[in-house]
Amino acid sequence: MNTNKSAGKVSVGGGSALGQNPFGSLSDLTLPEAPKGTGSPAQVSAKFATGSGVAKPEKNRGRVDVLREKAGRGGKTVTVAAGFTGIGLPEKEQLAKKMQKACGVGGTVKDGRIEIQGDKRDEVARILVEAGFRPVFAGG
């Protein structure tokens, strides 16, 4: 057996403390100025948190109730978006078409309400949020 401790081995016995700060040289560097018109760092990070790089204006077009109904439909479930204010029939039909396409089901606009076949409340609420409405789940 070889008792020579220095032959090819690294000492792990503590030794001296780390004598330098690896980030010490960064204090001497100067950072470039931010481009004008970008706003505060919080505003810039909010813009990029959306993933688009451009802040979207928040619009609130009112509350819309999102219901799940079964009564009077032969046991079939229907998702209903009701309580629209300030939009006409053409825009409701356009929203209904977008909801039908996203959910992969049929639907209609009846009595100022959008009816989508099946229990699709989450998808309907997402589309309403994208359109600037504030969906509220009501009923069962």
pLDDT score, position 55: 44
pLDDT tens digits, residue range 58-96?
578 889 999 999 888 888 999 999 999 888 999 999 999
Instruction: Look up residue 90 and give its two tokens.
Output: 């053409």
Q: Which two structure tokens, joined as six digits, stand for 31? A: 């950072």
pLDDT tens for 14-50 read: 555 556 777 776 777 776 776 666 556 556 555 555 5
pLDDT of residue 123: 94
Tokens of 130: 């994208």
Q: How far apart are CA 137 and CA 121, in angstroms?
A: 8
121: tokens are 């409340």
pLDDT of residue 54: 47
Distances (CA, A) of 16 to 22, 36, 124: 16, 48, 65
Check whether 10 has a pLDDT greater than 80.
no
pLDDT at 103: 93
Give the separation between CA 74 and CA 82, rounded to whole angstroms: 21
Question: pTM of this prediction?
Answer: 0.57
Task: Work out the burial of residue 135: count CB atoms within 10 Å of its CB; fewer than 13 is exposed, 13-18 middle, 19 or more buried.
Answer: buried
Quick one: pLDDT band at residue 57, thresholds 50, 70, 90? very low
**Which residue, chain included where needed, has tokens 């792990």?**
12
What's the pLDDT score for residue 61? 85
pLDDT top residue among 13 and 121: 121
Computed over every residue of the chain, the mean pLDDT equals 79
From residue 29, how far is each of 9, 21, 35, 90 by CA, in Å? 39, 15, 19, 59
Structural domains of the chain in order of their starting residue, each with its CATH number: 63-137 (3.30.780.10)
